[in-house]
A and B are shown apart, each in its own frame.
Chain A
C-alpha cells in the first residue's frame, strides 16, 4: 500500500479509476487518448495527495484535477473548445451549432437505439455542457460538487445543465 498523506493512493485509484476513465473517454476523441490522459490525471493525483487535507470532498478534488488536466490537454493538442456564450437564447442555438459540426448525419440515422443516439448526441455537445451532464447524470455528483470541480458558480451549473439537457433532447429526436 502506498501511503502518501491522509488518503492512500491505491484507495483513491480503486474508487475513481472508473469515473475518471469515463470522464476522459467522454472528453477525448479516442480510447488511446483517454488512456493517456487518465494516466496523467492519476499521476497528478498521486503528486497532489500529500497536500490533500480534506478541505474539499475527495470526489470533488479528483474531478477538479481531471477536468483541469483534460481542458489543458485539449488546448495543448490544438483543439479549440466549443464554448457557447452564457447569454445564448435557448437550447436551439446550441443544437444548431452542434449539428452543424457533428458527425455524419447518416450515422445518426442508423443509430436506432436510444443509447446510441444519446451517446452520439453527447459527443456533439460542446465540452462545457457535456461535462456538466456527465458529472450530474453519469457520475451522480450534486450541483455543488460540480460547481466546485469545475470552479464555476452553482447557478452556472443549473443553467448549463438545463441547456445541455434540452440540447440533448433535441439532438436525440432530430
Chain B
C-alpha cells in the first residue's frame, strides 16, 4: 500500500479531508475493499491509543515534587537526579564517618577489663560442650579439587549492574583563562567529595548573606556607571592591565576573603561584593543569563575551550543566580562576569 493512501486514510480518521477528498476516498473505498480493512484497523488502533491515555494515572509522588512550585518556592524543589546521586555519595561518606567516630569514642573493652573478666570468669559462660564435625578431606590436591558453589560464585565474573550516572556537565568555559594554573583544571584533577560539599555550603551561605546586600547598578560616576560606556571601557582596560596582580593577591588571600563580582549585561554593568567559596577563582567568564522579574533566574557558562576547568565556570555562573538586577527587561542575555579579589581594581 502506497504512502499517499495511508496519509489520506489517516487524515480521514481525523476529519482533515475536504469535501472533494472525502468523495474521492469514498469512491476508492468502494472499489478497493482492502482499504476498508486498513481503515478499520487504523481506527481500532487509534481508539486503543486514546484508551491507553485515559487509563494513565499520575503518581501521587509528582504532587509532592511540584509542591514547592505551587507555593512559589522553586528553590525548595527536591533534588534532581544528579544531585540525588551526589547526595547518596555524601550520605555514604557521612555514614562511614559516623561509624568511625563511634568506634573511636567506644573502642571496646580495655585490656585491663578483659583481664579482669578472665580472672573472675564469665557469668554466662556455657557449660555444655559441642563436638565439631571433622572437616571434609580430599585425596586430591586443592588445585585439582572440583569447585563448590561458593567457589563457582567467586570464580564467575561480577554481574553487570546498571547504575545511573550523573548527566555530563554541559559547560563550555570562560573567555579567558590563560592565567588559571593547569593544576586547577578539574578535568585532570579529581575534587574530593568534601570539597564539593563545602563549595555547595559556601554558595548557600553566600546566598543567605546576599539577601541583605542586593545587587545594584552602579551609581553615576561610580566605576561601572550604567550610562558611561567610555568609563566602562577604561574599567575593562584597567582590569586587563591589573589582571596578573589581581590573581596573585587572590591566590595569596585567605580562602574565605571578600571578593568583587562585576557583571556586564545588555550594555549595562553592575557589581557587588561577596564571600567566595574556596573553589571560585578570579577570572572573566562568559555566561548567558535569564532575567525574569528583575532577578537572575538562570546563568550558564558559554563559549571558551571545552577543555577549560568546568567547576570554575559553574562557580562563576552560580554567583549571579537569584540576584536582583534593576533596569534590565525580562529575557535571556549574553553577559560577562568578572570575579576579582576585593581591592584589586582600586
Contacts and interface: CB of A to CB of B under 8 A. Distances in A.
Query: Does chain A bind chain B?
Result: yes
Interface of A: 2, 4, 9-10, 13, 17-18, 21-22, 25, 31, 35-36, 38-40, 42-43, 46-47, 50-51, 76-77, 89-91, 114-115, 118-119, 122, 133-134, 136-140, 143, 158-159, 161-163, 165-166, 168-169, 172-173
B45 A165 contact: yes
Contacts of A51: 292, 330
Nearest to B13: A165
A158 B53 contact: no
A132 to B, nearest CB: 10
Given A9-B69, A17-B66, A166-B6, 14 more contacts: A17-B58, A25-B56, A38-B65, A39-B62, A50-B293, A51-B330, A118-B52, A133-B49, A138-B52, A161-B10, A162-B9, A162-B11, A166-B1, A166-B10
A152 to B, nearest CB: 15
A9 B58 contact: no
A120 to B, nearest CB: 11
A32 to B, nearest CB: 9
13 contacts: A9-B69, A10-B70, A17-B63, A21-B56, A31-B59, A39-B66, A42-B69, A115-B48, A118-B45, A138-B49, A138-B50, A159-B3, A169-B41
Contacts of A138: 49-50, 52-53
Nearest to A170: B41
B12 to A, nearest CB: 10
* B: interface residue count bin: 35 or more
B49 A122 contact: yes
Q: Is the interface of A mostly helix, strand, loop or mixed?
A: helix
Given A50-B330, A118-B49, A138-B52, A162 B77 contact: no
B56 A168 contact: no
A129 B336 CA distance: 41
B3 A163 contact: yes
Interface of B: 1-3, 6-7, 9-11, 13-14, 16, 38, 41-42, 44-46, 48-53, 55-56, 58-59, 61-63, 65-66, 69-72, 74, 77-78, 80-81, 167-168, 170, 290, 292-293, 297-298, 330
A42 B69 CA distance: 8
Contacts of A115: 48, 51-52, 55
Contacts of A162: 3, 6-7, 9-11
A9 B41 CA distance: 40
A102 to B, nearest CB: 17
B6 A43 contact: no
A137 B168 contact: no
Contact of B72 (A2, A36, A166): A2
Contacts of B38: 169
Given A51-B330, A136-B14, A161-B10, A13 B70 contact: yes
Q: Is the interface of B mostly helix, strand, loop or mixed?
A: helix
A163 B14 CA distance: 14
A140 B49 CA distance: 11
A127 B11 CA distance: 21
A36 B54 CA distance: 22
B81 A36 contact: yes
A35 B70 contact: no
B7 A159 contact: yes
A90 B3 contact: yes
A38 B60 CA distance: 13
A10 B67 CA distance: 9
The 3 closest A-B pairs by CB, nearest first: A138-B53, A162-B7, A162-B10
